[in-house]
Structure 1
């Protein structure tokens, strides 16, 4: 097959972003390209048109490739439920909870045939498949059960690029060490390196790149600069600012601030444990004059114009966390004052009267915050849907991923959920990406807060996402050896790449 695998020296080295950039670069040249990640661990997920759940990063990469997201692109998704257990999703459907030891002890090996079968289907349907690894391929303790890194490259006989984050420091040691810890068979597929997040004078880096080539026999095919405001859908919580830090559209995108005399609209998001689909807030953060920040103290809600309770993989645990920190009382006080509160998915469930959970937390019946006339019962089957509707007379689309079934017993209908006064709850992820709805909603929030704030009339979130993906492609074209990249995709790893022995330097 024609393709390559982007591996990393570590998690968050830039694999997802580089795959997206390469996909958009190839799509711009008329190549039919698809992304692929055999196994992903993420709480940010997406529902495809056929109703399958996949990692949000793979959905974003499919958008970069101008391809329809599919379960084939992410056949195995692990959704952590704590430090030691995860829900295992195979071909878009949950198959059960499993401990890390149990998964690596047998189930993972069984899934290799599923992963390679999906890769073969994609290779038959597209010209090129750009694969993403997970973590580092040099996790030697997990090599026996690998189904996402070098096992994929070996099965498909595709070359491997290793990307490293120089902003962390130690990138040359990471490149060398990653290569040296691989077997001779795997090293034959490692064709080169990509430096990510470089700041400063490229000339000062060159001696290190030349020394790396002499030590490993492999070139560096790109040095990507540190780029602010890419705004690409994150795979996990590494992309969320710590509590108390702002995450605003102006800061991320260099977007214009509100016209002179208007206020900034402040959005406080409860930084609940096991937060899922925090990408719901991206559309708010992209709005000029909207400041989104993640909070974990009740006093941080005092000046907020809108409080958001986001999705979470552990609704009951997140509710306890809100109560322990005094955030639950603060949310109830602002609701009594008629100040806006929005709950999305797990956040919606927490706003209800009662939660009956014998599935996720297995805690039985737990009282909710009592702000919405809703009773929630967790079902064994997961709801996966792509709903559409209207609100404020504006079209709204979203996607649903939840075990909790809401029995709405009153209030005003709101996107499949309900609202009572300024408290709104919905299971619809992604609804804020609908531009007209988002603008009307923010105008209502501003009016309730008494803010002089008018949403920008021309913010198009889909357009912003496309511009970000085009920017990634431009970074690839400008800062990578694209001729060498295309040769690798076409011809595979060069023959005769030397073996790098541990301790060789």
Structure 2
């Protein structure tokens, strides 16, 4: 099998990332040499690759579905929002300035050359490449400079499937309208549809799908049911009600309740996914001081805008609630930007994240933070709470520690990192909670400090849980998609002579 395919969506969060992961996993289980590709991602959830760069976390998950290590080749352009109007640009894994929405347009022609060349290399190195679009191809105001949807499809002659989330409502209109607003050369590559997150009797949907095919000339290649056991999400696993994951019942009498502060520019919030794998551990994102009442563990996650998110924390009253929680001896964990907020001061002399200046932290640790112009990236190893651990670092802030400050982590070269003062823990390392032994020790400490009757599982494996989720995605693809049609599209490209759908109101 040789070829490529683009999965586009009617909207952001329609299911593109998980469908790509599922198709990749389904192909890999059949022995196909498959790789993922997303030309341009916009996300503050990222990982450090084995080749030392930075890519979207979704593409790292898709790589795992393929049985591959994450690589900058899978996501050549990453935009990391810094504010409502600006984003940091990461090209081939390295920071390459910041842009506004308007100034980014000027860079698109050069970036299109980068992503098309990258796709060509991947196609030469692997039998199959499954590409993921960005947002929606129906954003016709952006079409002239598009590098991730039909711009990429046209450049690479990629057959394209459009996926829509029926749980949002209006999916048939979304699917039809997506095709109808495209110019004829783009429509010629749109080869079919997938309906995602369907609940109920498929027979009730069938007349609508038949009418959609009559209107567009394109079949629906599958209806993927809503899967309650599927909680993994390639960007984040946050439910609509703020919950993370679907943990099993507690092994002891009590639940452990984890409150994760949903910062405006939260980064790598998926760090807490591993907690949600544990029986009896309830994880929720929160946005108000009252949400911290009764929490056994409060987590301050990473942030792409630490100083402004800290200001938001203060303006909402959450800073006072976090301080009261910690000063009462209750457990608090800060990760990356959330760890930096625990410092006495945060100094950004070069204006990396905000206007140059000196800012007061929460003052819970005897250390200060200074922002360096260059980003610190790494895949470090060490020990923490008596366990061997690995993680990854993505930050500009550098800690300046007072002598004798208790460290959470000892790196493999013996350096001190992070903070451990009993009920308050902090680290720059993402992914620490994915280390099973470390996570169990943290939860045992939380249970002890909170006085909960909790038995910590000795068998939960985050890696095994994630693998099972990827296999569940592949099972959904195999059971509910027309896989023979997928293979034809991959090998033969878009069918010739697909109907051109005129836009509404056209003569």
For the criterion TM > 0.5, the same-fold answer is yes
**Structure-1 residue corresponding to 2:67:** 66
For residues 133 and 270 of structure 1, what CA distance do their matches in structure 2 show? 30
**CA offset at residue 423 of structure 1?**
1.1
**Structure-1 residue corresponding to 2:406:** 412
Spell out the pairing of 1:173-192 with structure 2 (5 A cutoff): 173-192=173-192
For residues 326 and 502 of structure 1, what CA distance do their matches in structure 2 show? 50
State yes or no: 1:384 paired with 2:416.
no
For residues 132 and 49 of structure 2, what CA distance do their matches in structure 1 show? 19
**Structure-2 residue corresponding to 1:308:** 299
**How many matched pairs?**
495
User: 1:193–1:248: structure 2 CA closer, same or farther, 3 Å change rule?
Assistant: closer
For residues 325 and 502 of structure 1, what CA distance do their matches in structure 2 show? 46
Spell out the pairing of 1:262-411 with structure 2 (5 A cutoff): 262-357=253-348, 358-409=351-402, 410-411=404-405
39-48 or 172-181, larger mean C-alpha shift: 172-181
**CA offset at residue 231 of structure 1?**
2.4
SS in 2 for 1:35: strand
Aligned residues of 1:248 and 1:286 also touching (Cα < 8 A): no
Spell out the pairing of 1:21-420 with structure 2 (5 A cutoff): 21-104=22-105, 106-235=106-235, 240-241=238-239, 245=241, 247=243, 249=245, 252=246, 255-259=247-251, 261-357=252-348, 358-409=351-402, 410-415=404-409, 416-420=417-421
SS in 1 for 2:67: coil
**CA offset at residue 172 of structure 1?**
1.4
Aligned residues of 1:7 and 1:136 also touching (Cα < 8 A): yes
Aligned residues of 1:241 and 1:294 also touching (Cα < 8 A): no
**CA offset at residue 192 of structure 1?**
0.6
SS in 2 for 1:473: helix
**CA offset at residue 363 of structure 1?**
4.3
For residues 340 and 370 of structure 1, what CA distance do their matches in structure 2 show? 16
Scaled by the length of structure 2, the TM-score of the pair is: 0.95
RMSD of aligned alpha carbons:
1.5
Aligned residues of 1:247 and 1:285 also touching (Cα < 8 A): no
Provide Cα deviations, 1:325-356, integer angstroms capped at 9, x if missing partner: 22222222232222211100001000011100
Query: Structure 1 regions of 5+ residues with no counterpart?
Result: none
Scaled by the length of structure 1, the TM-score of the pair is: 0.95
SS in 2 for 1:413: coil
**Structure-1 residue corresponding to 2:414:** none
Aligned residues of 2:381 and 2:390 also touching (Cα < 8 A): yes
Provide Cα deviations, 1:205-255, integer angstroms capped at 9, x if missing partner: 11111111111111111110011242224426xx5346xx55255xx2xx5
SS in 2 for 1:86: strand
For residues 178 and 475 of structure 1, what CA distance do their matches in structure 2 show? 24
SS in 2 for 1:380: strand
**CA offset at residue 203 of structure 1?**
1.0
Provide Cα deviations, 1:267-293, integer angstroms capped at 9, x if missing partner: 111121111101001000111100111
For residues 276 and 202 of structure 1, what CA distance do their matches in structure 2 show? 38
Provide Cα deviations, 1:91-135, integer angstroms capped at 9, x if missing partner: 00011111111102x112220011011101111111000000011
SS in 1 for 2:27: helix
Aligned residues of 1:38 and 1:75 also touching (Cα < 8 A): yes
SS in 1 for 2:407: strand
SS in 2 for 1:370: coil
Spell out the pairing of 1:465-504 with structure 2 (5 A cutoff): 465-503=466-504
Provide Cα deviations, 1:301-337, integer angstroms capped at 9, x if missing partner: 2311111111011111111112122222222223222
For residues 240 and 303 of structure 1, what CA distance do their matches in structure 2 show? 21
Aligned residues of 1:13 and 1:165 also touching (Cα < 8 A): yes
Aligned residues of 1:246 and 1:291 also touching (Cα < 8 A): no
User: 1:458–1:198: structure 2 CA closer, same or farther, 3 Å change rule?
Assistant: same
